[in-house]
């Protein structure tokens, strides 16, 4: 039996996940952080999840509005994490 989560629950989970990732990045030793690799990993993960959402959209499991919201949330989260990683790397002159 599949349990459907409402939009508020999804947003809460996404927010918590983003917070955990940001806290992990914040506490890691930035001198070992490789920002381009982090960004590439995030982009690849986003593309994978986008394809799953597109499949759900095509099956009718989600609406176009839900698809666009998920896409936008992922893009914004990835962009934020990439910027933080790049700034931290730049501050430590590890390019």
Range of 74's domain?
29-91
When mean pLDDT is compared over 11-15, 28-32, 63-67, the highest value belongs to: 63-67
SS3 sequence of the chain: CCCCCCHHHHHHHHHHHHHHHHHHHHHCCHHHCCHHHHHHHHHHHHHHHHHHHHHHHHHCCCCHHHHHHHHHHHHHHHHHHHHHHHHHHHHCCCC
Question: How many separate domains does the chain show?
Answer: 1
Residue at 73 is within a domain: yes
Residue 12 within a domain: no
- Domain assignment of residue 9, yes or no: no
**Does residue 14 lie within any of the structural domains?**
no
On whether residue 67 sits in a domain, the answer given is yes
Asked whether residue 4 is domain-assigned, the answer is no
Share of the chain above pLDDT 90, in %: 23
Q: Count the Cβ atoms, other than its own, within 10 Å of residue 74.
A: 20
Is residue 51 in some structural domain?
A: yes
Higher pLDDT, 25 or 78: 78
59: in domain: yes
Per-residue model confidence (pLDDT) at position 68: 94
The model carries a pTM of 0.54
């Amino acid at each position: 039996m599949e349990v459907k989560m409402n939009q508020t629950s999804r947003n809460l989970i996404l927010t918590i996940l983003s917070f955990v990732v940001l806290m992990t990045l914040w506490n890691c030793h930035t001198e070992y952080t490789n920002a381009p690799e982090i960004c590439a990993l995030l982009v690849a993960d986003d593309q994978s999840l986008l394809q799953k959402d597109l499949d759900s959209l095509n099956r009718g499991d989600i609406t176009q509005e839900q698809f666009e919201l998920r896409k936008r949330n992922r893009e914004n989260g990835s962009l934020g994490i990439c910027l933080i990683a790049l700034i931290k790397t730049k501050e430590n002159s590890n390019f």
